[in-house]
Amino acid sequence: MTERSTVETPRVGVLTPAGRGAIAVVAVRGADSVRVVDRCFRAASGKSLAETPSGRVAFGRWGDADGEEVVVTRSEDSVEVHCHGGAAASRAIVESLKSVGCQVVEQQEWLAETTAGSIEAAAHRALAQVVTEREALVLLDQINGALRKDLEQALELIDSGQLEEAKDRMFTLINRWHGCNPFLHPTQVYVMGAPNVGKSSLINTLVGFERSIVFDVPGTTRDLVTTTTAIDGWKVELIDTAGLRRGADSIEQRGIDIIFDSIHRAKLVLHVAEARTWLEGKPSSKVFFSRLKGIPMIKVASKIDLLNPSEIQKLEKRAGDKFFLTSIVRRQGIDELLEGIGAIMNPPALPAGTAVLFNKEQSDRVTEAWLAPSAAVSKHALQALLAE
């Protein structure tokens, strides 16, 4: 583990990831950090940062009376400056601190110096890239040592001669990686059906804004249109596909071919057809779905607002875990469909503190240890992961 050390020359780094955001955080660390920040910060209270109690938040401007508005908080040997998000504001603050004697430290180096070890530093870096609260909570558990503790316990089992028990622990981690892995690629959900059944409109409603092309002409969508969103706390790609119909022209047929060339990546397919065709038992795209094997499917009846109450009642008798009645006009059935998608494609909720592998390198190392022919080789692979 890397111990955090106090250095004479204050060090400055940006803690938040690159790109625009609501807030950027610039950190200064070192015995002289309060003094150097005081050379740039003008508190609205008129007090110096040195006069501000440790842990207290101070509001003011950076540089002069017309400078950037910032919020500053300090401890005994460190200061955090919170400014407007984006690269320009944080870069200007770093440059001004550099001019008064701070040493600039890159973000990865900063994380390596200020976290308990390499796994925790990697979790910090991954945390900067996630977009949902659920993913963030999983990574926070790893920052707090969940994965390190699990790997160290596996090493203890090996040292005590319990190799099979250690491998059981590794196998659990590997299974969890394959079953709960939102960190590399979003889950792909293909939305398929005949032309003009409301696929694009459905995606727009699920996402909450108009992303797909919507036009009342069959064949409008002739390629895969991908929209990234979050469902039940995990990243999801909703993929709008070309309308499936016999006798399509060459361009539309190419779109259909693209679907079936890439469908093996799908975790789930939504088969969308108008409510009346489901009622009559003959959705026009049904023949295409015979080509899909082994991929979970949800049936979606669209445009139920076009049915009369007795027809809707007949369809409702068929509704269940994998059959949903929807109306974009009335926004009916959308919440239930989202819950159904989440129930099929997402892993069960992980208890707080669960150890999770969160990148491919970790998965490869643990798999190597699990497959190792001897305790010594298995131990070496786990030690390498903890030391990386």
Topology alike, domains 11-114 and 187-345: no
Q: Tell me: pLDDT of 159 over 50.
A: yes
Beta carbons within 8 Å of 91's beta carbon, 6+ residues apart: none
- What is the average pLDDT across 154-180? 93
> What beta strand segments (E) does 254-384 contain?
268-274, 297-302, 323-325
Looking at per-residue pLDDT, the higher value among 89 and 291 belongs to 89
Q: How, if at all, do strands 225-231 and 297-302 pair?
A: unpaired
- What is the average pLDDT across 167-182? 86
Residue 224 confidence (pLDDT)? 58
Q: Tell me: pLDDT of 238 over 70.
A: yes
Residue 286 confidence (pLDDT)? 53
Per-residue pLDDT of 106-135, as tens digits, reads: 876 776 666 667 898 888 878 777 777 788
Q: Which strands sit side by side in the sheet containing 187-193, from one edge to the other?
A: 225-231, 234-240, 187-193, 268-274, 297-302, 323-325
Residue 383 confidence (pLDDT)? 94
Per-residue pLDDT of 266-300, as tens digits, reads: 788 898 999 998 888 776 555 556 566 778 889 99
- In this prediction the pTM is 0.63
Residue 1 confidence (pLDDT)? 40
> What beta strand segments (E) does the chain contain?
11-14, 23-29, 41-43, 57-62, 68-74, 78-84, 103-104, 187-193, 225-231, 234-240, 268-274, 297-302, 323-325
- What is the average pLDDT across 10-18? 82
Residue 214 confidence (pLDDT)? 40
Looking at per-residue pLDDT, the higher value among 375 and 342 belongs to 375
Per-residue pLDDT of 343-387, as tens digits, reads: 887 666 778 899 999 999 999 999 999 999 999 999 999 999 998
Angle between helices 118-127 and 133-143 in degrees, nearest 10: 160
Residues forming beta bridges with residue 237, ordered by sequence position:
188, 228
**Per-residue b or e along 359-373, where b marks 16 or more CB atoms closer than 10 Å to that residue's CB:** beebbebbbbbbebe
Residue 257 confidence (pLDDT)? 55
Q: Tell me: pLDDT of 326 over 90.
A: yes
Q: Tell me: pLDDT of 183 over 60.
A: yes
3-class secondary-structure state, position 58: strand
- What is the average pLDDT across 233-252? 64
Question: Would you place residue 250 in the very low, low, confident or very high pLDDT band (cuts 50, 70, 90)?
Answer: very low
CATH number of 11-114: 3.30.1360.120
Angstrom distance (rounded) from CA 245 to CA 193 = 8
With contact defined as beta carbons under 8 Å apart, do 268 and 344 qualify? Answer: yes
Residue 332 confidence (pLDDT)? 92
Looking at per-residue pLDDT, the higher value among 233 and 59 belongs to 59
Amino acid identity for residue 150 in this structure: D
Residues forming beta bridges with residue 140, ordered by sequence position:
none
Residue 34 confidence (pLDDT)? 93
Per-residue pLDDT of 61-76, as tens digits, reads: 999 878 889 999 988 7
Residues forming beta bridges with residue 29, ordered by sequence position:
11, 78
Count CB atoms within 10 A of the CB of residue 260: 14
With contact defined as beta carbons under 8 Å apart, do 250 and 279 qualify? Answer: no
Amino acid identity for residue 299 in this structure: K
Superfamily of domain 187-345: P-loop containing nucleotide triphosphate hydrolases (3.40.50.300)
Lowest average pLDDT, out of 17-21, 40-44, 243-247, 349-353, goes to: 243-247
Q: Please give the mean pLDDT across all residues of the chain.
A: 82
Q: 148 phi and psi, to 5 degrees?
A: -60, -45
With contact defined as beta carbons under 8 Å apart, do 361 and 338 qualify? Answer: no
Residue 279 confidence (pLDDT)? 87
- What is the average pLDDT across 327-350? 85
With contact defined as beta carbons under 8 Å apart, do 365 and 385 qualify? Answer: yes
Residue 22 confidence (pLDDT)? 66
Angstrom distance (rounded) from CA 122 to CA 125 = 5
Looking at per-residue pLDDT, the higher value among 98 and 128 belongs to 98
Angle between helices 146-159 and 133-143 in degrees, nearest 10: 50
Residue 209 confidence (pLDDT)? 61
Domain ranges for the chain, please list them: 11-114, 123-180+351-387, 187-345
